[in-house]
Amino acid sequence: MGNFLLKRIIATIPVMIIVAIIVFTLIRLVPGDPAAVIAGNMATNEDIARIRTELGLDRSFLTQLGIWGKGLIMGDLGQSFFFKKDVVGLIGERLEPTMALAFLTIVITVLVAVPLGTLAAWRHGGWLDRALMGFSVLGFSIPVFVLGYLLVYFFSLKLDWFPVQGYKPFANGVGPWLHHLLLPAFTLSIVYVALIARVTRASVAEALTEDYVRTARAKGLPESRVLIKHALANAAVPIITVIGIGIALLIGGVVVTESVFSIPGLGTLTVDAVLARDFPVIQGVILFFAFLYVMVNLLVDVSYLILDPRIRY
């Protein structure tokens, strides 16, 4: 296991290098001059050229890449053009809301989807099963922003249960934190509940037809134990895989949700940085997301080892 972890962690290094180069190149291929954006509408060509020199954008592509790469090795993502701040510090400031939202969403999703899917598989064709399937179709078809505004309209504006927007840091207490986060997290979780419940249902239904489930019943075990320890435990690998994919998609999804609920997280930072052509911030945020993806994948692979003793790398 230790050996496997070490190998996998070393293997992330080339992945990150390739992502870094691609991100750096792509941004410079997109039309739009950061210097012009910073200089504003009234600026002269000289002003723009001066700003460009200040930012180092007048140097050759490879020189710029070299400077950025050197910084990266030292853990320095560069300076934001727009905020005039360290990119690492900037990501650090915006990290908590995004991570809190993603974490709460995943918790809600898993707590709802896995039991629901398991019960639906157990009572295959029953009312719960059919209701879940109907809900899935609905969950897949409604875009997050539509659902978000609908929920804000009912729960915040009409019923006044939740704040319309904003974020309270965790440090200010769990109550306010949860109060601000619950509605966005719930919104985000709908589509993942639909996805993961379906996968759970299919996977558990298949496990329930296996011989070892028959053995478990022949042992006189209660159905709850048959379902959880025998069917679900064997169905876990595909479910965990989809949860991993869900987390990856979710990190992309927060960009939209944070805009709808005005949460000052990485999503809003990304949108602002793109609009301002703030190259160092865009590069830094994308690199950070890529790193998260790689880590989530690693965690998923490690969980396979724990969940299924037959899997050995």
Partner 1 sequence: MTTPTTSAVLPPSPLVGEGLGERGSLDSGNTVAPHSTVPLSPTLPHEGGGGKGAVLSVRNLSVALPVGADRPFAADNISFDVKAGEILCLLGESGSGKSIISFAVMGLLPDNVRVSAGEIFLGDENLLTLSPAALRGKRGDDIAMVFQEPMTALNPVMTCGDQLDELLAEHTQLSAVERKAKTLAMFEAVKLPEPDRIFTSYPHQLSGGQRQRIMIAMALILEPKLLIADEPTTALDVTTQAEVLALIKTLQRERGTAVLFITHDMGVVAEIADRVVVLQNGKQVEAGSKDQVLRQPREAYTQMLIASVPGTEPPAEGIAHDGTALLSVVGLGKTYSSGGWFQKKRTTEAAKGVSFTLHPGETVGIVGESGSGKSTVARCITRLIDPTVGDMQLGSTRLDGVSRDSLKLARKRIQIIFQDPYRSLDPRQRVGEAIIEGPLNFGVSRTSAMARARELMNLVRLSPDVLSRYPNEFSGGQRQRISIARALALDPEVLICDEAVSALDVSVQAQVLKLLEEIQSQLNLAILFITHDLRVAAQICDRVLVMQRGEVVEQGTARDVFITPKHAYTQRLLASAPGRGFEFATQHIAVP
Which residues lie near partner 1 (CB under 8 A)?
A: 3, 7, 210-212, 214-222, 225, 229-230, 233-234, 236, 307-310
Distance CA 274, CA 97 (A): 19
Q: What's the DSSP call for residue 172?
A: G
Give, to the nearest 10 degrees, the angle between helix 87-122 and helix 233-261.
Answer: 130
Alpha helices in the chain (DSSP H): 2-29, 34-39, 45-55, 61-73, 87-122, 127-141, 144-151, 174-208, 211-218, 223-225, 233-261, 266-275, 279-307
Of 90 and 204, nearer to partner 1 (C-beta) is 204
Of 70 and 229, nearer to partner 1 (C-beta) is 229
- Residue 79 phi/psi, 5-degree rounding, is -105, 140
Tokens 């992309």 belong to residue: 252
Of 84 and 310, nearer to partner 1 (C-beta) is 310
Of 230 and 277, nearer to partner 1 (C-beta) is 230
Of 302 and 307, nearer to partner 1 (C-beta) is 307
Smallest gap from residue 310 Cβ to partner 1 (A) = 5
Of 168 and 230, nearer to partner 1 (C-beta) is 230
Q: Contact, 78 vs 244, CB < 8 A? A: no
Of 40 and 220, nearer to partner 1 (C-beta) is 220
Smallest gap from residue 12 Cβ to partner 1 (A) = 18
Smallest gap from residue 218 Cβ to partner 1 (A) = 4
Smallest gap from residue 162 Cβ to partner 1 (A) = 41
Q: Contact, 116 vs 193, CB < 8 A? A: yes
Smallest gap from residue 224 Cβ to partner 1 (A) = 12
| Residue type at position 169 | P
Task: Say which residues have a Cβ less than 8 Å from residue 313's Cβ, sequence separation at least 6.
Answer: 4, 301, 305
Smallest gap from residue 199 Cβ to partner 1 (A) = 18
Smallest gap from residue 223 Cβ to partner 1 (A) = 9
Give residue 31's region: left, alpha or beta (phi > 0; psi -120 to 50).
beta
Smallest gap from residue 216 Cβ to partner 1 (A) = 7
Of 160 and 211, nearer to partner 1 (C-beta) is 211
Distance CA 255, CA 266 (A): 7
Q: Which residues pair with 86 in a beta bridge?
A: 79
Paired tokens of 156: 């915040």
Q: Contact, 290 vs 219, CB < 8 A? A: no
